[in-house]
């Protein structure tokens, strides 16, 4: 089986024995998934694909055992996240472990030369092709704790905890802000009389899909809602857990590729600011599944409330899934949509 992605095609052509190596934060590629070695990833969709093949696959919140003979780090578009992976590998794997770094030129792989130099790690270029570059070095102790990457900030009266690679890292994005402005009105019947001072008088089950740093989950939990928060990004799941804890709130946060971890569970409402990028490429897949499968995860009369960039083609998806929808807000950059499941549906 041949490699499918440019970065894996560059690796495939190397006269190098990668048996037993650790692949860190790779894209989906069947050449890797059918090969040898083990996976370290925070992406639940990638983890699930490897685990479905019986391959060794863990998240950075688990222990990597045994120590691999070498590591390949796939450089992400978020340079801060790439730097975090470097710090994590240096802190958790033996000094002297061979490390290769691969990535697309447009994704900033050439920047690793300066990053490695700043950490006191040497580096040499191994190869380049398909507008990608491959570099090699060895891990060493750098004296920087990777946990320092976790950041806290205040928004809407809440303390939020975030990590590089989490959507909107370190700030409240404008789309989420617009969604928050609409929630008290549209969730009124579900939550009871919702105000900033008083929680709703009905204990509802609400799903925060694509939870990011946990701002929506915390906003809901502060109003007495039973919250389940899911995200395909393991860093986002951990950020949401930390955000809830930082505010003394309760809620469940799960790693899930859209609804994959939820089984047949149903909710009174689903709220979401769904992603539409996979690295640098536009990908409507997760948001499409969020919308099309939402009725199966809503109680009769339950509602989907979501915010999206105004140019995205979600109205057609909402109409096909629910039969009708309404636009609650439109500031020309973002739109907040609301769709309600037929109360007679089961």
CATH at residue 43: 3.40.50.150
**40, 58 contact by CB (below 8 A):** yes
Choosing from 115, 147, 179, the residue where a domain stops is: 147
Choosing from 147, 177, 196, the residue where a domain stops is: 147
**pLDDT per position as a tens digit, 17-75:** 999 999 999 999 999 999 889 999 999 999 999 999 999 999 999 988 899 999 999 99
pLDDT of the residue at 189: 58
Looking at the fold, whether 223 and 130 belong to one and the same domain comes out as no
pLDDT of the residue at 279: 42
Identify whether 273 is part of a domain. yes
- Whole-number Cα distances in Å, 76 to 21, 241, 319: 19, 24, 35
Is the pTM for the entire model greater than 0.85?
yes
pLDDT of the residue at 63: 86
Strand ranges for 30-150 from DSSP E: 38-40, 57-58, 71-74, 98-104, 124-129, 132-138
Looking at the fold, whether 76 and 159 belong to one and the same domain comes out as no
Looking at the fold, whether 284 and 154 belong to one and the same domain comes out as yes
Looking at the fold, whether 157 and 140 belong to one and the same domain comes out as no
Identify whether 222 is part of a domain. yes
Instruction: State residue 224 phi and psi, 5-degree precision.
Output: 85, 15
Q: Which domain holds residue 199?
A: 150-340
Which residues, given as ranges, of the chain have pLDDT below 70? Answer: 189-203, 276-284, 344-346
Identify whether 346 is part of a domain. no
pLDDT of the residue at 272: 97
pLDDT of the residue at 285: 78
Euclidean distance between the first and final Cα of the chain, in Å? 44
Looking at the fold, whether 160 and 141 belong to one and the same domain comes out as no
Number of domains in the chain: 2
Tokens of 202: 């009905």
Looking at the fold, whether 194 and 80 belong to one and the same domain comes out as no
pLDDT of the residue at 193: 47
Looking at the fold, whether 220 and 127 belong to one and the same domain comes out as no
Looking at the fold, whether 253 and 297 belong to one and the same domain comes out as yes
d(CA 171, CA 185): 24
Choosing from 100, 118, 147, the residue where a domain stops is: 147
Identify whether 345 is part of a domain. no
């Amino acid at each position: 089986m041949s490699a499918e992605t440019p970065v894996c095609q560059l690796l495939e052509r190397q006269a190098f024995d990668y048996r037993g190596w650790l692949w860190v934060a790779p894209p989906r590629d069947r050449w890797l998934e059918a090969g040898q070695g083990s996976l370290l990833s925070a992406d639940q969709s990638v983890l699930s694909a490897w685990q479905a093949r019986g391959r060794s696959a863990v998240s950075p919140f688990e222990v990597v055992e045994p120590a691999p003979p070498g590591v390949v780090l796939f450089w992400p578009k978020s340079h801060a996240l790439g730097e975090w992976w470097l710090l994590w590998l240096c802190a958790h794997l033996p000094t002297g472990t061979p490390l290769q770094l691969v990535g697309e030129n447009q994704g900033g792989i050439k920047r690793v030369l300066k990053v490695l130099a700043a950490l006191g790690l040497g580096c040499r270029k191994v190869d380049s092709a398909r507008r990608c570059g491959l570099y090699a070095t060895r891990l060493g102790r750098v004296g920087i704790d990777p946990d320092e990457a976790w950041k806290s900030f205040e928004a809407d009266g809440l303390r939020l905890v975030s990590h590089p690679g989490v959507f909107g890292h370190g700030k409240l994005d404008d789309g989420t802000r617009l969604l928050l402005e609409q929630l008290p009105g549209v969730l009124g019947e579900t939550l009871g009389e919702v105000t900033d001072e008083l929680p709703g008088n009905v204990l509802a089950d609400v799903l925060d899909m694509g939870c990011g740093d946990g701002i929506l989950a915390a906003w809901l939990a502060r109003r007495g809602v039973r919250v389940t928060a899911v995200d395909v990004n393991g860093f986002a799941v951990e950020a949401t857990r930390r955000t809830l804890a930082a505010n003394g709130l309760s809620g469940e946060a799960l790693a899930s590729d859209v609804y994959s971890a939820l089984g047949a569970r149903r909710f009174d409402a689903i709220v979401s600011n769904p992603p539409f990028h996979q690295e640098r490429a536009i990908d409507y897949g997760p948001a499409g599944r969020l919308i099309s499968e939402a009725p199966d995860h809503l109680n009769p009369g339950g509602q989907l409330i979501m915010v999206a960039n105004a140019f995205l083609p979600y109205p057609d998806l909402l109409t096909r899934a629910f039969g009708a929808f309404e636009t609650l807000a439109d500031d020309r950059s973002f739109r907040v949509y609301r769709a309600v499941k037929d109360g007679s549906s089961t």
